[in-house]
C-alpha cells in the first residue's frame, strides 16, 4: 500500500496538498495536464477547474478506483494506470506532487515527463534540510532532497527551475521558500 491522501471530498484533504494544486491550477489554465501520481484524485479535480483536460495517472489501482468514484467531477478528467518510469501521453504541463521521493528511479520518471513534450513541470518534494531522511519515519520514501539536489536532478533531465516556493507545514499555503520549509515546490520549464 502506498502513502496517499484519501477523503471523498476536497474538504477532507490536508490543506497543504490542496494549496499546492490550487497554486498549480493558476499555471495550467487552458492546458492539457498530466497529474502524475494522482492518488485518490482530488488534485486532478482541482486542476480540471482551470485546465482544458487532465489525465490523472497512478500506479495504485485502489487509488484510481477511489478517484473514479469520488473525483470524476468533470468530463475534462480521465484516469489511467502508470508505473513510472513509463511512456506518458503528450501534455502541455505535468504536475508531480509528493511522488519523486517514492520512486527508485526518480531520474527516469523526470525523463519520461520531459518526453511527454510538456512545456512546464510543477513539482514538490520533501526538504531534506527540514525533514532529514535519515531521521526515519518515512517508510514509503526512498530519499528526500535539498534544494540543490532536486534542482540538479531536474536540470539533468531537461527541466529548468524558474520558481522556487515552499510550504512550512501541513496547513501552509505555497509561498516564498524560506530554506526551512518542510516542502520544496517548484515550477520548471522545458529547456
Q: Which triple of cell numbers denotes residue 128?
A: 531534506
Domain that holds residue 147: 10-190
The total number of structural domains in the chain stands at 1
pLDDT of residue 1: 42
Whole-angstrom Cα distance, residue 113 to residue 62? 23
Whole-angstrom Cα distance, residue 136 to residue 67? 30
* Residue 131 near residue 170, CB atoms below 8 Å: no
* Residue 188 near residue 154, CB atoms below 8 Å: yes
**Confidence check: pLDDT of 123 > 60:** yes
**Confidence check: pLDDT of 184 > 90:** yes
Question: Is 21 part of any domain?
Answer: yes
Instruction: Look up the CATH number of the domain holding residue 62.
Output: 3.40.50.150
Q: Which triple of cell numbers denotes residue 176?
A: 516564498
pLDDT of residue 2: 60
Amino acid at each position: 500500500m502506498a502513502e496517499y491522501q484519501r477523503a471523498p471530498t476536497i474538504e477532507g484533504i490536508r490543506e497543504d496538498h490542496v494549496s499546492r494544486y490550487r497554486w498549480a491550477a493558476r499555471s495550467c489554465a487552458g492546458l492539457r495536464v498530466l497529474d502524475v501520481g494522482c492518488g485518490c484524485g482530488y488534485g486532478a479535480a482541482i486542476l480540471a477547474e482551470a485546465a482544458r483536460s487532465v489525465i490523472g495517472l497512478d500506479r495504485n489501482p485502489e487509488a484510481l478506483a477511489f478517484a473514479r468514484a469520488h473525483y470524476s467531477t468533470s468530463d475534462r478528467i480521465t484516469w489511467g494506470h502508470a508505473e513510472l518510469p513509463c511512456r506518458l501521453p503528450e501534455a502541455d504541463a505535468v504536475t508531480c506532487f509528493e511522488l519523486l521521493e517514492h520512486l527508485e528511479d526518480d531520474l527516469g520518471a523526470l525523463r519520461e515527463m520531459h518526453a511527454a513534450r510538456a512545456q512546464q513541470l510543477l513539482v514538490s518534494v520533501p526538504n531534506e534540510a527540514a525533514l532529514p531522511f535519515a531521521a526515519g519515519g518515512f517508510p514509503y520514501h526512498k530519499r528526500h532532497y535539498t534544494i540543490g539536489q532536486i534542482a540538479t536532478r531536474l536540470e539533468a533531465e531537461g527541466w529548468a527551475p524558474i520558481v522556487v516556493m515552499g510550504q512550512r507545514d501541513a496547513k501552509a499555503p505555497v509561498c516564498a521558500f524560506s530554506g526551512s520549509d518542510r516542502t520544496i515546490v517548484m515550477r520548471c520549464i522545458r529547456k
